[in-house]
Amino acid sequence: MPVSLFICPLCQSPLQPAADTWRCDGSLHPKQTSHPFDVARQGYVNLLPVQQKKSKAPGDSQESIDARKRFLNHGHYAPLQNLISQKMTELLSNDELIDKQDNKSVNWLDIGCGEGYYTQAMAQMGSDVIDTLIAADISKPAVVELAKVSKLSGRLWYQPCQEDTTKTTAVYPLVTSAAHLPLHPHSVTGISSIFSPILPEAFDNVLMDNGYLVIAKPDVGHLATMRDALFDDVREHDSDKFLQELAPYFTLVETCRVSTELTLSAEDLADLTTMTPYAYRARSEKRQALLAAVEKEAFSTEAKFVVYILQKTSV
Protein backbone atom coordinates (compact mmCIF):
# COMPACT_ATOMS: atom_id res chain seq x y z
CA MET A 1 0.00 0.00 0.00
CA PRO A 2 1.31 3.47 -0.83
CA VAL A 3 2.32 5.62 2.13
CA SER A 4 -0.30 8.16 3.20
CA LEU A 5 -3.33 6.89 1.35
CA PHE A 6 -5.79 7.26 4.24
CA ILE A 7 -6.59 10.26 6.40
CA CYS A 8 -8.48 10.55 9.67
CA PRO A 9 -12.17 11.44 9.21
CA LEU A 10 -12.00 13.54 12.42
CA CYS A 11 -8.80 15.58 12.09
CA GLN A 12 -7.51 14.75 8.56
CA SER A 13 -4.10 13.66 9.87
CA PRO A 14 -2.43 10.69 8.14
CA LEU A 15 -4.13 7.43 9.17
CA GLN A 16 -2.09 4.25 9.43
CA PRO A 17 -3.75 0.85 8.83
CA ALA A 18 -2.83 -1.90 11.31
CA ALA A 19 -4.30 -5.33 12.04
CA ASP A 20 -6.35 -4.44 15.15
CA THR A 21 -6.73 -0.67 15.18
CA TRP A 22 -6.06 2.04 12.63
CA ARG A 23 -4.64 5.22 14.22
CA CYS A 24 -4.11 8.72 12.96
CA ASP A 25 -0.91 10.45 14.03
CA GLY A 26 -2.81 13.51 15.28
CA SER A 27 -0.36 15.85 13.54
CA LEU A 28 -3.17 18.08 12.23
CA HIS A 29 -5.19 18.01 15.46
CA PRO A 30 -4.91 21.22 17.54
CA LYS A 31 -3.93 19.13 20.60
CA GLN A 32 -2.00 16.53 18.57
CA THR A 33 -4.58 13.92 19.70
CA SER A 34 -4.44 10.58 17.92
CA HIS A 35 -7.78 8.94 16.98
CA PRO A 36 -8.21 5.13 16.99
CA PHE A 37 -10.53 3.18 14.64
CA ASP A 38 -11.05 -0.50 15.42
CA VAL A 39 -10.90 -3.13 12.71
CA ALA A 40 -14.14 -5.15 12.85
CA ARG A 41 -14.11 -8.94 13.09
CA GLN A 42 -15.11 -9.19 9.41
CA GLY A 43 -12.14 -6.98 8.40
CA TYR A 44 -13.80 -3.66 7.58
CA VAL A 45 -13.14 -0.31 9.27
CA ASN A 46 -15.86 2.15 10.24
CA LEU A 47 -14.59 5.63 9.31
CA LEU A 48 -18.00 7.32 9.54
CA PRO A 49 -18.08 9.50 12.66
CA VAL A 50 -21.52 10.01 14.25
CA GLN A 51 -21.44 13.70 13.34
CA GLN A 52 -21.31 12.73 9.62
CA LYS A 53 -24.36 10.45 9.96
CA LYS A 54 -27.68 11.95 8.94
CA SER A 55 -29.66 8.97 10.27
CA LYS A 56 -29.13 6.05 12.64
CA ALA A 57 -28.58 3.53 9.83
CA PRO A 58 -27.61 5.50 6.70
CA GLY A 59 -27.53 3.97 3.21
CA ASP A 60 -29.11 0.78 1.94
CA SER A 61 -30.89 -1.49 4.41
CA GLN A 62 -30.10 -5.13 5.04
CA GLU A 63 -33.34 -6.05 3.20
CA SER A 64 -32.39 -4.26 -0.02
CA ILE A 65 -28.82 -5.60 0.18
CA ASP A 66 -30.08 -9.18 0.53
CA ALA A 67 -32.48 -8.71 -2.41
CA ARG A 68 -29.75 -7.18 -4.61
CA LYS A 69 -27.30 -9.93 -3.70
CA ARG A 70 -29.76 -12.69 -4.68
CA PHE A 71 -30.77 -10.92 -7.91
CA LEU A 72 -27.23 -10.05 -9.05
CA ASN A 73 -25.86 -13.49 -8.19
CA HIS A 74 -28.34 -14.95 -10.71
CA GLY A 75 -26.22 -13.17 -13.35
CA HIS A 76 -28.94 -10.87 -14.71
CA TYR A 77 -26.60 -7.86 -14.88
CA ALA A 78 -23.46 -9.81 -15.91
CA PRO A 79 -23.21 -7.93 -19.25
CA LEU A 80 -22.83 -4.66 -17.32
CA GLN A 81 -20.33 -6.21 -14.91
CA ASN A 82 -18.28 -7.43 -17.90
CA LEU A 83 -18.41 -4.05 -19.63
CA ILE A 84 -17.19 -2.23 -16.51
CA SER A 85 -14.29 -4.69 -16.00
CA GLN A 86 -13.33 -4.51 -19.67
CA LYS A 87 -13.33 -0.70 -19.75
CA MET A 88 -11.36 -0.41 -16.51
CA THR A 89 -8.75 -2.90 -17.72
CA GLU A 90 -8.36 -0.85 -20.91
CA LEU A 91 -8.01 2.41 -18.95
CA LEU A 92 -5.50 1.06 -16.47
CA SER A 93 -3.37 -0.52 -19.16
CA ASN A 94 -2.78 3.06 -20.29
CA ASP A 95 0.90 3.23 -19.29
CA GLU A 96 1.13 6.94 -19.89
CA LEU A 97 -1.02 7.80 -16.85
CA ILE A 98 0.27 5.05 -14.57
CA ASP A 99 3.94 5.97 -15.22
CA LYS A 100 3.27 9.47 -13.94
CA GLN A 101 2.82 8.12 -10.42
CA ASP A 102 5.99 7.98 -8.33
CA ASN A 103 5.38 4.56 -6.87
CA LYS A 104 3.36 3.25 -9.82
CA SER A 105 0.76 1.65 -7.59
CA VAL A 106 -2.83 1.88 -8.77
CA ASN A 107 -5.38 2.84 -6.11
CA TRP A 108 -9.03 2.60 -7.14
CA LEU A 109 -12.04 3.82 -5.14
CA ASP A 110 -15.42 2.15 -5.69
CA ILE A 111 -17.81 4.56 -4.00
CA GLY A 112 -21.29 3.32 -3.00
CA CYS A 113 -19.98 -0.20 -3.61
CA GLY A 114 -22.96 -1.88 -1.92
CA GLU A 115 -22.35 -5.54 -1.14
CA GLY A 116 -19.82 -5.55 -3.96
CA TYR A 117 -21.07 -7.38 -7.06
CA TYR A 118 -19.12 -5.01 -9.33
CA THR A 119 -16.31 -4.46 -6.79
CA GLN A 120 -15.47 -8.18 -6.65
CA ALA A 121 -15.17 -8.24 -10.45
CA MET A 122 -12.75 -5.28 -10.24
CA ALA A 123 -10.68 -7.17 -7.65
CA GLN A 124 -10.60 -10.22 -9.92
CA MET A 125 -8.91 -8.17 -12.65
CA GLY A 126 -5.75 -8.77 -10.58
CA SER A 127 -2.98 -6.75 -8.96
CA ASP A 128 -1.29 -6.01 -12.26
CA VAL A 129 -4.37 -3.85 -12.99
CA ILE A 130 -5.33 -2.57 -9.49
CA ASP A 131 -3.05 -2.78 -6.42
CA THR A 132 -5.39 -1.27 -3.85
CA LEU A 133 -9.17 -1.30 -4.11
CA ILE A 134 -11.01 0.89 -1.62
CA ALA A 135 -14.57 -0.39 -1.34
CA ALA A 136 -16.56 2.35 0.35
CA ASP A 137 -20.22 2.66 1.29
CA ILE A 138 -22.21 4.57 3.89
CA SER A 139 -24.26 1.42 4.65
CA LYS A 140 -22.66 -0.74 7.33
CA PRO A 141 -24.54 -3.95 6.38
CA ALA A 142 -23.35 -3.54 2.77
CA VAL A 143 -19.70 -3.20 3.83
CA VAL A 144 -19.99 -6.15 6.24
CA GLU A 145 -21.21 -8.31 3.34
CA LEU A 146 -18.43 -7.12 1.04
CA ALA A 147 -15.77 -7.74 3.70
CA LYS A 148 -16.99 -11.32 4.26
CA VAL A 149 -16.77 -12.16 0.54
CA SER A 150 -13.35 -10.49 0.20
CA LYS A 151 -12.05 -12.51 3.15
CA LEU A 152 -13.29 -15.76 1.64
CA SER A 153 -11.45 -14.97 -1.59
CA GLY A 154 -8.25 -14.01 0.30
CA ARG A 155 -8.26 -10.43 -0.95
CA LEU A 156 -8.82 -8.60 2.32
CA TRP A 157 -6.12 -5.96 2.95
CA TYR A 158 -4.43 -7.76 5.89
CA GLN A 159 -4.54 -11.32 4.58
CA PRO A 160 -1.20 -13.13 4.37
CA CYS A 161 -1.22 -13.60 0.60
CA GLN A 162 -0.88 -9.81 0.27
CA GLU A 163 2.74 -10.30 1.37
CA ASP A 164 3.48 -13.04 -1.20
CA THR A 165 5.12 -12.52 -4.52
CA THR A 166 1.86 -13.74 -6.08
CA LYS A 167 0.14 -10.65 -4.71
CA THR A 168 -3.60 -10.18 -5.24
CA THR A 169 -5.50 -6.90 -5.31
CA ALA A 170 -5.86 -5.72 -1.69
CA VAL A 171 -9.46 -4.80 -0.85
CA TYR A 172 -10.08 -2.21 1.92
CA PRO A 173 -13.78 -2.25 2.94
CA LEU A 174 -14.66 1.08 4.58
CA VAL A 175 -17.86 2.52 6.01
CA THR A 176 -17.65 6.14 4.95
CA SER A 177 -19.59 8.93 3.32
CA ALA A 178 -18.87 10.00 -0.26
CA ALA A 179 -18.97 13.58 1.01
CA HIS A 180 -16.13 13.05 3.51
CA LEU A 181 -13.74 10.62 1.88
CA PRO A 182 -10.95 9.55 4.30
CA LEU A 183 -8.35 9.73 1.52
CA HIS A 184 -5.43 12.05 0.86
CA PRO A 185 -5.94 14.62 -1.89
CA HIS A 186 -4.63 13.38 -5.27
CA SER A 187 -4.16 9.83 -3.95
CA VAL A 188 -6.40 7.71 -6.19
CA THR A 189 -5.95 6.72 -9.81
CA GLY A 190 -9.65 6.27 -10.47
CA ILE A 191 -13.14 6.22 -8.98
CA SER A 192 -16.18 4.18 -9.94
CA SER A 193 -19.72 5.14 -8.95
CA ILE A 194 -22.06 2.37 -10.04
CA PHE A 195 -25.67 3.58 -9.54
CA SER A 196 -24.27 5.53 -6.60
CA PRO A 197 -23.78 9.14 -5.49
CA ILE A 198 -21.76 11.50 -7.67
CA LEU A 199 -20.01 14.32 -5.83
CA PRO A 200 -17.90 16.30 -8.32
CA GLU A 201 -15.84 18.32 -5.81
CA ALA A 202 -15.13 15.43 -3.42
CA PHE A 203 -14.10 13.18 -6.34
CA ASP A 204 -11.92 15.90 -7.88
CA ASN A 205 -10.15 16.38 -4.53
CA VAL A 206 -9.02 12.76 -4.03
CA LEU A 207 -8.23 11.98 -7.68
CA MET A 208 -4.73 12.38 -9.04
CA ASP A 209 -4.24 14.60 -12.10
CA ASN A 210 -5.78 12.99 -15.19
CA GLY A 211 -7.40 10.35 -12.95
CA TYR A 212 -10.45 8.45 -14.18
CA LEU A 213 -14.10 8.49 -13.18
CA VAL A 214 -16.34 5.60 -14.31
CA ILE A 215 -20.08 6.10 -13.81
CA ALA A 216 -22.85 3.57 -14.49
CA LYS A 217 -26.50 4.64 -14.71
CA PRO A 218 -29.78 3.19 -15.97
CA ASP A 219 -30.33 4.22 -19.59
CA VAL A 220 -33.54 5.47 -21.20
CA GLY A 221 -35.96 2.51 -21.46
CA HIS A 222 -34.37 0.58 -18.56
CA LEU A 223 -36.89 -2.01 -17.27
CA ALA A 224 -39.62 -0.28 -19.32
CA THR A 225 -42.20 -3.10 -19.14
CA MET A 226 -41.75 -3.38 -15.39
CA ARG A 227 -42.20 0.33 -14.90
CA ASP A 228 -45.26 0.32 -17.20
CA ALA A 229 -46.81 -2.35 -14.97
CA LEU A 230 -46.05 -0.41 -11.78
CA PHE A 231 -46.90 3.17 -12.69
CA ASP A 232 -49.71 5.02 -14.50
CA ASP A 233 -47.27 7.69 -15.60
CA VAL A 234 -43.73 6.50 -16.37
CA ARG A 235 -40.99 9.10 -15.95
CA GLU A 236 -37.84 8.51 -17.98
CA HIS A 237 -34.40 8.38 -16.34
CA ASP A 238 -32.70 11.70 -16.67
CA SER A 239 -29.35 10.17 -17.56
CA ASP A 240 -27.27 13.21 -18.49
CA LYS A 241 -28.02 15.98 -16.00
CA PHE A 242 -25.10 15.17 -13.71
CA LEU A 243 -22.65 15.62 -16.61
CA GLN A 244 -23.16 19.39 -16.44
CA GLU A 245 -22.21 19.35 -12.75
CA LEU A 246 -19.08 17.34 -13.51
CA ALA A 247 -18.04 19.56 -16.44
CA PRO A 248 -15.93 22.06 -14.40
CA TYR A 249 -13.70 19.19 -13.20
CA PHE A 250 -13.95 16.37 -15.74
CA THR A 251 -13.84 15.76 -19.48
CA LEU A 252 -16.11 13.09 -20.94
CA VAL A 253 -13.91 10.56 -22.75
CA GLU A 254 -16.32 7.82 -23.76
CA THR A 255 -19.97 6.77 -23.43
CA CYS A 256 -20.83 3.06 -23.74
CA ARG A 257 -24.21 1.38 -23.72
CA VAL A 258 -25.19 -2.20 -22.97
CA SER A 259 -28.58 -3.86 -22.81
CA THR A 260 -29.80 -7.33 -21.94
CA GLU A 261 -33.13 -9.18 -22.17
CA LEU A 262 -34.28 -10.50 -18.80
CA THR A 263 -36.68 -13.38 -18.17
CA LEU A 264 -37.56 -13.17 -14.51
CA SER A 265 -39.11 -15.61 -12.06
CA ALA A 266 -41.47 -14.40 -9.32
CA GLU A 267 -38.55 -14.40 -6.85
CA ASP A 268 -36.31 -12.40 -9.23
CA LEU A 269 -39.01 -9.82 -9.84
CA ALA A 270 -39.74 -9.43 -6.12
CA ASP A 271 -36.01 -8.91 -5.49
CA LEU A 272 -35.71 -6.45 -8.38
CA THR A 273 -38.57 -4.32 -7.08
CA THR A 274 -37.08 -4.39 -3.57
CA MET A 275 -33.56 -3.37 -4.67
CA THR A 276 -34.72 -0.41 -6.76
CA PRO A 277 -36.50 2.76 -5.68
CA TYR A 278 -39.57 1.57 -7.64
CA ALA A 279 -40.70 -0.58 -4.72
CA TYR A 280 -41.30 2.46 -2.58
CA ARG A 281 -42.85 4.71 -5.21
CA ALA A 282 -45.23 2.22 -6.86
CA ARG A 283 -48.78 1.83 -5.57
CA SER A 284 -48.97 -1.30 -3.46
CA GLU A 285 -51.90 -2.81 -5.44
CA LYS A 286 -49.98 -2.42 -8.72
CA ARG A 287 -46.95 -4.14 -7.22
CA GLN A 288 -49.14 -6.98 -5.87
CA ALA A 289 -50.86 -7.40 -9.29
CA LEU A 290 -47.49 -7.60 -11.05
CA LEU A 291 -46.15 -10.17 -8.58
CA ALA A 292 -49.38 -12.23 -8.86
CA ALA A 293 -49.16 -12.25 -12.70
CA VAL A 294 -45.55 -13.49 -12.66
CA GLU A 295 -46.55 -16.47 -10.50
CA LYS A 296 -48.28 -17.82 -13.66
CA GLU A 297 -45.77 -16.82 -16.31
CA ALA A 298 -42.13 -15.56 -16.29
CA PHE A 299 -41.83 -11.81 -16.79
CA SER A 300 -39.83 -10.33 -19.67
CA THR A 301 -38.16 -6.97 -19.61
CA GLU A 302 -35.00 -5.31 -20.91
CA ALA A 303 -32.25 -3.84 -18.72
CA LYS A 304 -30.47 -0.91 -20.38
CA PHE A 305 -27.37 0.74 -18.96
CA VAL A 306 -25.05 3.54 -19.86
CA VAL A 307 -21.43 3.79 -18.70
CA TYR A 308 -19.63 7.13 -18.80
CA ILE A 309 -15.85 7.37 -18.69
CA LEU A 310 -14.50 10.73 -17.65
CA GLN A 311 -11.02 12.04 -16.94
CA LYS A 312 -10.01 14.73 -14.46
CA THR A 313 -9.16 17.88 -16.34
CA SER A 314 -5.57 18.94 -15.69
CA VAL A 315 -5.13 22.45 -14.35
Under the rule (CB under 5 A), what is the footprint of Zn ion? 8, 10-11, 13, 24, 35
Nearer to ligand SAM, 91 or 138 (CB): 138
Binders in 11-70 for ligand SAM, by CB under 6 A = 59-60, 68
Q: Which of 49, 79, 197, 218 binds ligand SAM (CB under 6 A)?
A: 197
Stretch that binds ligand SAM, among 93-101, 114-122, 219-227, 230-238 (CB under 6 A): 114-122
Stretch that binds ligand SAM, among 110-118, 206-214, 255-263, 306-314 (CB under 6 A): 110-118
195 contact, one of ligand SAM, Zn ion, none, CB 5-8 Å limit per kind: ligand SAM
Minimum CB separation of residue 25 from ligand SAM in Å reads 26
Minimum CB separation of residue 90 from ligand SAM in Å reads 20
Minimum CB separation of residue 133 from Zn ion in Å reads 24
Nearer to Zn ion, 13 or 107 (CB): 13
Distance (Å, whole) CA 112 – CA 38? 21
Stretch that binds ligand SAM, among 94-102, 106-114, 207-215, 294-302 (CB under 6 A): 106-114
Rule CB under 6 A: say whether 194 interacts with ligand SAM.
Answer: yes
Q: Which of 13, 107, 177, 274 binds ligand SAM (CB under 6 A)?
A: 177
10 contact, one of ligand SAM, Zn ion, none, CB 5-8 Å limit per kind: Zn ion
Going by C-beta distance under 8 Å and a sequence separation of 6 or more, which residues neighbour residue 237?
217, 218, 219, 220, 222
Q: Which of 71, 117, 203, 212 binds ligand SAM (CB under 6 A)?
A: 117
Rule CB under 6 A: say whether 114 interacts with ligand SAM.
Answer: yes
Residue 38's beta-bridge partner residues? Answer: 21
Q: Which of 137, 145, 204, 271 binds ligand SAM (CB under 6 A)?
A: 137
Minimum CB separation of residue 109 from Zn ion in Å reads 20
Rule CB under 6 A: say whether 112 interacts with ligand SAM.
Answer: yes
Name the nearest CA neighbour of 272 among 122, 76, 108, 98.
Answer: 76
Rule CB under 6 A: say whether 278 interacts with ligand SAM.
Answer: no
Binders in 142-161 for ligand SAM, by CB under 6 A = 142
Residue 90 vs residues 14, 83, 120, 130, 213: alpha-carbon distances, Å: 32, 11, 18, 12, 13
Cβ neighbours, 10 Å, residue 242: 16
Stretch that binds ligand SAM, among 36-44, 83-91, 131-139, 160-168 (CB under 6 A): 131-139
Rule CB under 6 A: say whether 139 interacts with ligand SAM.
Answer: yes
For the chain, the residue count is 315
Site residues for ligand SAM per CB under 6 A: 59-60, 68, 111-114, 117-118, 137-139, 142, 177-179, 194-197
